[in-house]
């Protein structure tokens, strides 16, 4: 009887051992759906086997909700016994998932922006990595561009939520470092029907440039209102608007907007020497081949980059342990931390014991909206 | 800079009135639906969203997802009608309702597919949008609220919240995660008393005023309008004089859907409407309706205009506190209402 049980257990674990399990959590619905949907679509483009091992992907939707993200993460860890967590789309939900990753000792690659997800690398965060550029990295690029074009004063109008507040904080930090003055700070809600009041106040402060701290289609509204009030200075947007819908809805109203973005946004305009060009174009072609011309956005490319990091790390971890064991997860974590020179669509990843972001200034380019398309600056 | 600066104040006021006019329309719809059916119609804003996004989809030469939705609702409503007719042993009524549904659904399907291609003139697309979205009002009433017509206000409110969540989810499925903007009906600006106003906002104020006038005439002069008013005042009494509450409810929801869709078409050009935009817009209409105590049409309209104005001034002087200010407005109004009006219990039937 005992022997029978043992064989049964062995048989079970042998089938379980065959596969590497990857749990993906994205915001397929809710306010962050415009980011989460291309991320979810990208999972279908990831390889089904790595180093001869079958990879099983389980995708869950957190509805842009923190509690749902934690529940989904627990389910993936306990029921699906995943070896790697990828996700989620938003910062608050990613922060909440850190505890699940740390308790279960499962490596996690977040797709959200904030620096607080991976900094400082303490005992809990040692399990957590991320692929998107931080707001700090992007804000520094905007302020550097402002300073180099003679801008002295900046006005700010952004969302009255975590996104807008985060950008305001980064703008103030970077602006102070470069000696720029933030002369007006205004907030608006994603669903507002008018921003005339805020824009009047920003225009009255006569800033040389205005930064709009908003994402997606709702970012069109302040820029349109600024133009309607005859504002002639430079208008900056954040990388949160880098998708085709922003151009489609904004039309003539967003012409001239300057923003930082991952190189994948303008992959075909990058010089041939740029290492990200090839990876970016490959991703764009793969994605548009499956989902149609013009469907690609930069957000899905963050998941693609997480996939690239994973493809490099899994073979190394397989050498040390079998999938489905704590040893494998630990080896996978070490392998991800040891990532060197992985060329992604958004930049070149070099993780380290104290750097779980892995990106440098090569992960951003400045682009401008010209004739209804993105144009690489410089 | 001061809010009462002569170069600022008129602009803010005009802006507030433009938004307030849309909120006023929505608050009228909310009061109407509540008075007739006792439903606090949370999904009112979803009609705004459906209206704007259906037009946007037509603009892009697509067949909007709302077509399948309205056909599905028609199917469910017909099944309900047939079951009811057969239970009553009325085979002819069952046959008729199937016939009408097949004819109506088929015609709507044909017309939409014929006209959905790019290049149709804007006014045809606007009419088609109304044709696609407005029938959802009475159909939703038939499917969701009519079976609950004897339930308490609380149950109706819960159903209403559930419907709001369902419609938001459907909006995401139909139109995608990113919003859209519809083309402006009027381009350019006009000078009135030294203030530059966009023609679009004048159009919003004008159409809203006309619509309110139309409603006033409808309630004052037509039999159907008087029947609605009678039902609003006393459901039982209205039934005794031969007004069917189901018909009154369906009419109220038709008007609510019409008002919502028109509001969506009016604000669609000035902002990008997303699948989740409807709720807050509807909620501001609701604040207006609360100021009117959910019974008085003029008070609701004035309240909604007030919401628009306060929102506009607040967005200038204290933008980070704007939503707090607008929604805190409800508290003193509720306090004053509960102190000044005598409390009467739920109407007995």
B66 in contact with chain A, both atoms CB, cutoff 8 A: no
Select the residue from A89, A164, A191 to test the B interface by mutation, using most B Cβ atoms within 10 A.
A191
B12 in contact with chain A, both atoms CB, cutoff 8 A: yes
**Across the interface, do B312 and A196 touch by the CB < 8 Å criterion?**
yes
Among positive and negative, which fits the CA dihedral A264, A268, A270, A273?
A: positive
Distance from CA of B35 to the nearest CA of A (A): 28
pLDDT at residue A21 is higher than 90: yes
CA distances from A47 to A38, A308, A340, B171, B263 (A): 17, 10, 21, 32, 48
pLDDT in tens, B300-347: 999 999 999 999 998 888 888 888 888 888 888 888 877 776 655 544
Q: Does residue A62 lie within any of the structural domains?
A: yes
Give me the pLDDT at residue B343, please. Answer: 55
Q: A293 and A187: one domain?
A: no
User: Could you check whether the bond before residue A149 is cis, i.e. omega within 30 degrees of 0?
Assistant: no
Average pLDDT over residues A305-324: 93
Task: Please name the member of A197, A228, A249 whose beta carbon is closest to the beta carbon of B315.
Answer: A197
pLDDT in tens, B145-184: 999 988 899 999 999 999 999 999 999 899 888 888 888 8
Q: Does residue A274 lie within any of the structural domains?
A: no
Q: Backbone phi, then psi, for B27, in 5-degree steps?
A: -65, -35
Give me the pLDDT at residue A6, please. Answer: 52
Distance from CA of A120 to the nearest CA of B (A): 30
Average of per-residue pLDDT values in chain A: 90
Q: A184 and A222: one domain?
A: yes
Q: A150 and A127: one domain?
A: no
pLDDT in tens, A261-297: 999 999 999 999 999 999 999 999 999 999 988 888 8
- Domain residue limits at A37: 20-133+284-349
Residue in chain A closest to B283 (alpha carbons) equals A191
d(CA B211, CA A106): 60
Q: A144 and A253: one domain?
A: yes
B22 in contact with chain A, both atoms CB, cutoff 8 A: yes
Cα-based angle B299, B302, B307 (whole degrees, multiple of 5): 120
Give me the pLDDT at residue A16, please. Answer: 47
B177 in contact with chain A, both atoms CB, cutoff 8 A: yes
Regions of chain B where pLDDT drops below 70: 1-3, 118, 194, 341-349
Q: Does residue A146 lie within any of the structural domains?
A: yes
Give me the pLDDT at residue A319, please. Answer: 92
Q: A146 and A243: one domain?
A: yes
ipTM: 0.78
**3-state secondary structure string across B193-249:** CCEEEEHHHHHHHHHHHHHHHHHHHHHHHCHHHHHHHHHHHCHHHHHHCCCCHHHHH
B172 in contact with chain A, both atoms CB, cutoff 8 A: yes
Q: Does residue A275 lie within any of the structural domains?
A: no
Q: A127 and A155: one domain?
A: no
Task: Supply the pTM of this predicted model.
Answer: 0.82
d(CA A160, CA B323): 10
Confidence band of A119 (pLDDT split at 50, 70, 90): confident
Give me the pLDDT at residue B349, please. Answer: 41
CATH code of A243's domain: 3.40.50.2300
CA distances from A273 to A269, A281, B200 (A): 11, 14, 50
List residues bridging with A374 in a β-sheet. Answer: A369
Query: What tokens does A333 get?
Result: 């974590």
Q: A230 and A253: one domain?
A: yes
Q: A98 and A26: one domain?
A: yes
Task: Please name the member of A36, A194, A243 whose beta carbon is closest to the beta carbon of B19.
Answer: A194
Distance from CA of A217 to the nearest CA of B (A): 6
d(CA A91, CA A113): 6
A-chain residues near B267 (CB < 8 A): 193
B 306-335 residues with CB < 8 A to A: 312-317, 319-320, 322-323
pLDDT in tens, A90-100: 888 999 999 99
Give me the pLDDT at residue A329, please. Answer: 94
pLDDT at residue A177 is higher than 60: yes
Q: A173 and A253: one domain?
A: yes
How many domains, chain A? 2
């Amino acid at each position: 009887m005992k022997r029978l049980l043992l064989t049964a257990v062995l048989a079970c674990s042998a089938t379980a051992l065959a596969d590497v399990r990857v749990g993906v959590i994205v915001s397929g619905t809710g306010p962050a759906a415009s980011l989460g949907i291309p991320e979810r679509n990208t999972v279908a483009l990831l390889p089904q086997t790595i180093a001869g091992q079958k990879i099983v992907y389980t995708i869950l939707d957190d509805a842009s909700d923190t509690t749902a993200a934690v529940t989904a993460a627990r389910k993936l860890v306990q029921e699906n016994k995943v070896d790697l967590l990828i996700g989620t789309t938003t910062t608050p939900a990613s922060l909440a998932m850190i505890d699940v990753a740390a308790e279960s000792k499962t490596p996690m690659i977040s797709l959200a922006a904030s620096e607080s997800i991976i900094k400082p690398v303490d005992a809990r965060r040692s399990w957590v990595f991320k692929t998107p550029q931080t707001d700090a990295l992007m804000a520094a690029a905007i302020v550097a561009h402002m300073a180099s074009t003679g801008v002295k004063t900046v006005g700010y109008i952004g969302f009255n939520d975590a996104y807008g507040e985060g950008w305001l904080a980064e703008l103030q930090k970077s602006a102070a470092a470069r000696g720029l003055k933030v002369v007006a700070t205004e907030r608006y809600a994603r669903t507002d029907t008018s921003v005339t009041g805020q824009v009047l106040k920003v225009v009255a402060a006569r800033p040389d440039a205005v930064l709009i701290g908003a994402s997606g289609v709702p970012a069109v509204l302040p820029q349109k209102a600024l133009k309607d009030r005859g504002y002639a200075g430079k208008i900056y947007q954040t990388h949160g608007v880098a998708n085709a819908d922003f151009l489609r809805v904004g039309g003539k109203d967003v012409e001239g907007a300057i923003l930082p973005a991952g190189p994948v946004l303008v992959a075909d305009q990058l010089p041939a020497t740029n290492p990200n060009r090839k990876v970016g174009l490959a991703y764009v072609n793969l994605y548009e081949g499956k989902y149609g011309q013009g469907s690609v956005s930069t957000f899905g490319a963050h998941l693609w980059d997480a996939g690239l990091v994973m493809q490099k790390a899994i073979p190394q971890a397989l050498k040390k342990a079998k999938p489905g064991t704590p040893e494998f997860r630990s080896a996978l974590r070490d392998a991800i931390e040891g990532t060197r020179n992985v060329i992604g669509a958004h930049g070149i990843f070099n993780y380290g014991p104290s750097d779980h972001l892995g990106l440098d200034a090569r992960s951003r380019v400045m682009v401008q909206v010209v004739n209804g398309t993105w144009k690489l600056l410089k | 800079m001061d809010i009462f600066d002569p170069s600022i104040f008129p602009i803010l006021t005009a802006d507030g009135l433009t938004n307030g006019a849309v909120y006023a329309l929505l608050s009228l719809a909310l009061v109407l639906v509540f008075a007739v059916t006792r439903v606090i119609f949370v999904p009112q804003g979803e009609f705004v969203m459906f209206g704007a996004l259906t037009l946007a989809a037509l603009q892009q030469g697509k067949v909007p997802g709302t077509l399948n939705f309205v056909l599905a609702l028609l199917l469910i409503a017909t099944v309900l009608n047939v079951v009811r007719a057969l239970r009553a042993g009325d085979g002819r009524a069952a046959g008729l309702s199937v016939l009408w549904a097949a004819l109506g659904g088929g015609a709507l399907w044909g017309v939409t597919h014929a006209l959905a291609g790019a290049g149709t003139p804007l006014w045809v697309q606007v009419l088609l949008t109304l044709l696609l979205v407005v029938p959802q009002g009475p159909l939703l009433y038939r499917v969701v609220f009519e079976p609950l017509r004897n339930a308490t206000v609380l149950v109706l409110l819960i159903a209403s919240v559930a419907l709001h969540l369902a419609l938001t989810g459907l909006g995401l499925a139909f139109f995608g995660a990113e919003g859209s903007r519809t083309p402006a009906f009027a381009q350019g600006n006009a000078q009135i008393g030294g203030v530059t106003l966009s023609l679009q906002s004048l159009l919003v104020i004008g159409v809203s005023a006309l619509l309110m006038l139309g409603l006033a005439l409808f309630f004052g002069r037509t039999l159907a309008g008087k029947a609605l008013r009678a039902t609003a005042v006393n459901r039982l009494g209205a039934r005794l004089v031969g007004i069917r509450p189901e018909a009154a409810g369906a009419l109220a929801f038709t008007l609510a859907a019409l008002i919502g869709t028109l509001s969506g078409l009016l604000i669609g050009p000035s902002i990008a409407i997303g699948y989740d935009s409807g709720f807050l817009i509807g909620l501001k209409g609701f604040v207006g309706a609360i100021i009117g105590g959910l019974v008085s049409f003029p008070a609701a309209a004035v309240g909604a205009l007030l919401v628009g104005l306060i929102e506009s001034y607040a967005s200038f002087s204290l933008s980070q506190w704007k939503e707090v200010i607008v929604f805190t407005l409800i508290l003193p109004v509720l306090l004053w209402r509960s102190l000044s009006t005598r409390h009467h219990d739920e109407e007995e039937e």
